[in-house]
Structure formats: C-alpha cells, structure tokens
Amino acid sequence: MAGLRLGPLLRYVDDSSATVWVETSRPCTAEVRCADGARGETRTFQVAGHHYALITVTGLRPGTASTYEVLLDGTPVWPLADSPFPPSEIRTPDGDAVRVAFGSCRWAAPPSDENDPVGPDALDTLAARIAADPAEERPDVLLLLGDQVYADETSDATRRWLAARRDLTEPPGDQVADYEEYTHLYYESWLDPEVRWLLSTVPSCMIFDDHDVVDDWNTSASWLADMRATPWWRERLLSGLVSYWVHQHLGNLSPAELAADPLYAAVRDAPDGTDLLRAHAARADEDPSAVRWSYRRDFGRVRVLMVDTRAARVLEEGGRSMLAPAEERWLREQVLGDPGSYDHLLIGTSLPWLLPHLVHDAEAWNAALCRGERGERWARFGEDLRRRADLEHWAAFPASFEALAALIAEAGSGERAPATVCVLSGDVHHAYVAEPSWPSGSGPRARVLQLTCSPVHNSIPLSIRLGFRFGWSGVGRALGRFFERHGRGERPSLDWRRTGGPWFGNQLMTLTLRGRSARLRLDQARASRNGGKPRLETVTEYELAPR
C-alpha cells in the first residue's frame, strides 16, 4: 500500500483551482477530495527512485474555504489520524484583502523536546497561531525568499545520517553531495509537524538563494571556475537544481503553465525523469538564459514577480549583470506589459536591492576594484575580499542596480501607476524598511519601498547586529563615501533612507493589500516567559499607503 512520505503542500490557489504537492512511498494514483465536492487526481512520476505528484484540484468556488483529504490509490492518508491540528483547507480568494507573508533563511527546527539554540521558529509559531483560531486572519500566500534548505550547513542529526552513508573525510564532507541527500534535507525541514501542517493549508511561493546550493553561489566568474575544478561541485549543483525543480519550482506554476510545460510532460511520461531533469539543470548551469526560474503570480490586483538572482547571473567581469539579458527582458515585460492592471507590484528578490549605505558603497567599491579600476593588484585583492565578505548583492552589480531603479521608477510613474512598488527580500539576517528618493521631479508617483525580512529561523551573531547597525549610521555612510572615492565609481542615481528597523530575531513580515491601501506588520517568534509555548508577537504595524 502506498504511503505519504512528504506533504501535502498547498501551492497554487486561484478562484476555481489549486495544486497540491505530495511525495509517496511507491507509484500510485494521488487524489485530493474537498468537502465541497471539488477534487483532482493524477498518477505519480518518478525521479531518482522517489515518487511525486502535483495534483490539480478543480471545481472550487470563489470566496470559499473547503477542508480536504489526500488519498493514495483510494486510501485516505491525510489528515493524519492522530493530528492535533485542524483539518487542512483550501481557501479561494474573496476579492477583498490580499495578505502576503514573507521571509527567508530557515534552518530546520530541532525536535520539540530538544533545545533550540537559535530560538523559536517563526513558521512554527505562525502555524500555532493559525491552528489556535482557524477562523481568524491568515496569509493568503507565504513567500519563501530563499534558503529553504541549507546544503552547506547541516544539522547534527543530518551529519550523523550522512556519516552512516559515506566517508565524511572525503569532499564535500558533512555537506550534502547528491539528490538522495537533498531529499533528506527536505524531510528534515518539511516533516516538522507545525511546518507540515502550515504548508498544507497556506499556499506558498518559493525561490532559491545561495544556501539551497552553496554559500555565495555564483559570486563571480573566478569563483565558479574554482568550484568547477573540484571533484564534487557538478553533482552538488545538478542535484540541487533537480531537487529544487521537484520540491519547489513545480508548485510555483499555475495549472495552465504546467499543462504547457514540455519538460513536466516528459518527466511524467518517463519511467524515471532523472536524466531529463539533470540535462535541464546542466543547461541552466551552462547558459543563464537557457532556463527561467523566475515567475509571475497575480492575486487579484496584486502582482508578484519572483526573480531569480542566483542562476540568472552573467559573471564575466566585463559584462557582469545580476540578470541575463533574456531575464531582464522578461522582468520588464511583466512590469510594464499591461499598465494599469495592478494596484501593487511586489518584486521578490532574495537579495536586497537597497542595503545599509556602508554595505552598498563597499560592494560598489569592490566591484570597481574587481573590474580593474585601480589596477591588477587591487583587482586580485578585490576578488579575495568579495568572496570572504560576501560582497555579491545588487550593489555589487552597479549597472543592474541602476537598471532595476529605472524600471521601478518607470513602473511607478504615469496616470495608471500602482499605489506601491515593494521589493521583498531576505538574506541579511535582519529586517528593515528602506525608502528611496529620486532627484527632484524624476521620481515615481507610487510609493517605493525595500522590505527586507530575515531570518525565519537562523542564527543572528552579535557581529551581524553591530555591523548592520553601524552600516545604517551616519558614520558608516561617511566611511562608505571614502570607499566610493577610492573606487572611482559614480554615485547611485537615487538616495534612500531607512524608515523602519533594524529588527533582529526570527521573524516574518506581512503585507495586507486592500484596494490601493497597504499595511505592513512585522511579527517575531518569541519564547514564553512562563514556560509556555513560543508565540508570534507583533513588533510593529503601520500604513504604507492610505486607504
């Protein structure tokens, strides 16, 4: 009899349809039945000996909430018989508010009976909040902005599992090496009871960042050349991209996109789709324009563009770009192709566009050194520093930073401009709000904001707290201008200021978008003072755009 190994994950939801992802223990027919009669079923497909299904549910009605169950070959397997959580449900949009929760950087939480050295998990506490009162407000979608799994920073339990499988004295040591080991990371992360239930009942959109493959993935051309020279890199990269396609990317797509995807059709028809997916991953590695991981989702009049800022990079020093030309064209088309069709534009990019001023100036200075502005010796120093200090955000690609600024200004201008353009990011292990300003008379009508929220569950060393506070300070800004002069670079075409934060903790931000109004809330996971269960507490909440 087939069993449920992982999932269900509720991924895509619109007015009348949804998709639900599962992994099963053997080939079978996977089915979703809703209490209101909506349903869907499909046969599983196989990758590397594992069995998966993405079930399209049809017949849903707008503005409704329906509980559902998952059946494998006709036998119910979800909800779990002993589950302490309410039944999972699919809620379709009601045409009122759209609530978007987002964050990034999540280490898997340890078992509940073990001490958690980095504090409560924001996703666990969000699940507890929703489960305690299922009728209350919940996110309409959860945007996970990178580092859903850590291939290069494994837990003690995973290291023990790896050691039983292979010799950890051989590269890559206690990091994951192949597809099977990636599946273990997803089990560790998504079988967490609270997270498993949360992902079964709140739709999610995901994008990778570096730790989904390796720290500082695609920093530079010389970094990539060094990695390709190692004996373990190719298997890590291909396994990471294949596992991302299976576990994360497929669920980002709508039923219509899935039906039109030739790779998905080929994998479903194949006895085992591993070779097809490895070839797909190899094309993505060889040519950043060959495979698109970015995607668009519309929630009523809220447009979400999730942008790949890792695999889509052009790394050659003379033409470095955060996005390959084809990716830039795609982003421009999604932003400007149908003006007036959205009231809020959310650009999801794992890496912040607007950083603390000192960090921005240091990265721009480093980029100038690496491209030879101060000579060959400084270029070698710059490359070494770039790798050691993780100087590879938007600021480290100055032309791309300016291109995004120009695109945002164009999107936010004109009579049909949206109310807000928000860049949603994570990565930097703190949360903040930054607001840009353009030279007088050249700025957009829309309110433009950088909203950064990280981590969901990870360490926040004192060095990060002190460093980013200093980076936002006036002294830090003055020091950044010294770097700018030394690098002989140009000042950015716009300025910005921090209008909220920095906040440090395991946290999530939520945007509530209703008509042309926008409201932001930041919640942090905190341990109970009286020995009770951890809880999610609101740190700040305020209007971004008036009603």
Residue 256: name the closest of 491, 14, 526 by CA.
14
Residue-wise burial string across 124-147, b where 16 or more C-beta atoms lie within 10 A, e elsewhere: bbbbbbbeeeeeeebbbbbbbbbb
Final residue of a structural domain among 46, 75, 94? 94
Q: Are residues 200 and 255 in the same domain?
A: yes
Q: Are residues 366 and 262 in the same domain?
A: yes
The residue type at 351 = L
- What own/partner pairs with CB < 8 Å and gap ≥ 24 does 276-281 have? 277/47, 277/241, 277/242, 277/245, 277/246, 278/238, 278/242, 280/241, 280/242, 280/245, 281/237, 281/238, 281/241, 281/242, 281/245
Q: Are residues 272 and 362 in the same domain?
A: yes
> How many C-beta atoms surround the C-beta of residue 229 within 10 A?
8
pTM: 0.96
Q: CA–CA separation, 316 vs 286, rounded Å?
A: 13
- Reduced to 3 states (helix: H, G, I; strand: E, B; else coil), residue 479 is helix
At residue 463, the pLDDT reads 84
Residue 76 domain boundaries: 1-94
**CA 204 to the chain's CA centroid:** 10
Q: Please report where in the chains the tokens 């716009």 appear, as a residue.
A: 494
**Which two tokens mark 380?**
């070698």
> How many C-beta atoms surround the C-beta of residue 16 within 10 A?
14
Q: Are residues 101 and 83 in the same domain?
A: no
* pLDDT per residue rounded down to tens, the chain (547 residues): 999 999 999 999 999 999 999 999 999 999 999 999 999 999 999 999 999 999 999 999 999 999 999 999 999 999 999 999 999 999 999 888 999 999 999 999 988 778 889 999 999 999 999 999 988 889 999 999 999 999 999 999 999 999 999 999 999 999 999 999 999 999 999 999 999 999 999 999 999 999 999 999 999 999 999 999 999 999 999 999 999 999 999 999 999 999 999 999 999 999 999 999 999 999 999 999 999 999 999 999 999 999 999 999 999 998 999 999 999 999 999 999 999 999 999 999 999 999 999 999 999 999 999 999 889 999 999 999 999 999 999 999 999 999 999 999 999 999 999 999 999 999 999 999 999 999 977 789 999 999 999 999 999 888 888 888 998 888 888 887 877 778 677 789 999 999 999 999 999 999 999 999 999 999 999 998 777 789 999 999 999 987 5
**Which two tokens mark 218?**
């695609």
> Nearest 5°: phi and psi at 21?
-100, 140
Final residue of a structural domain among 33, 67, 94? 94
Q: CA–CA separation, 541 vs 547, rounded Å?
A: 15
Residue 233: name the closest of 282, 184, 294 by CA.
282
Q: Are residues 177 and 31 in the same domain?
A: no
Residue 506: name the closest of 466, 448, 459 by CA.
459
- Alpha-carbon distances of 510 from 141, 278, 450, 453, rounded to whole Å: 10, 36, 14, 10
Q: What pLDDT, in 10s, does the model give residues 227-264? A: 999 999 999 999 999 999 999 999 999 999 999 999 99
Contact 288/296 with Cβ under 8 angstroms? no
Contact 176/159 with Cβ under 8 angstroms? no
At residue 440, the pLDDT reads 78
Contact 95/62 with Cβ under 8 angstroms? yes
Q: Are residues 202 and 268 in the same domain?
A: yes
At residue 352, the pLDDT reads 98
Q: Are residues 88 and 109 in the same domain?
A: no
DSSP 8-state symbol, 388: H
Q: Are residues 77 and 103 in the same domain?
A: no
Question: What are the residues whose beta carbons fall under 8 Å from the beta carbon of 238, sequence distance 6 or more?
Answer: 278, 281, 282, 285
Q: Are residues 68 and 194 in the same domain?
A: no
Hey, which residues does 457 pair with through a beta bridge?
A: 106
At residue 547, the pLDDT reads 59
- Half-sphere exposure of 469 toward its Cβ, with a 13 Å CA cutoff? 9
At residue 254, the pLDDT reads 98
**Which two tokens mark 315?**
């790394």
Final residue of a structural domain among 56, 76, 94? 94
Q: Are residues 339 and 427 in the same domain?
A: yes
Q: Are residues 369 and 461 in the same domain?
A: yes
Q: Are residues 226 and 346 in the same domain?
A: yes
Residue 28 belongs to domain with CATH number: 2.60.40.380
Residue 388 belongs to domain with CATH number: 3.60.21.70
Domain count, the chain: 2
DSSP 8-state symbol, 148: S
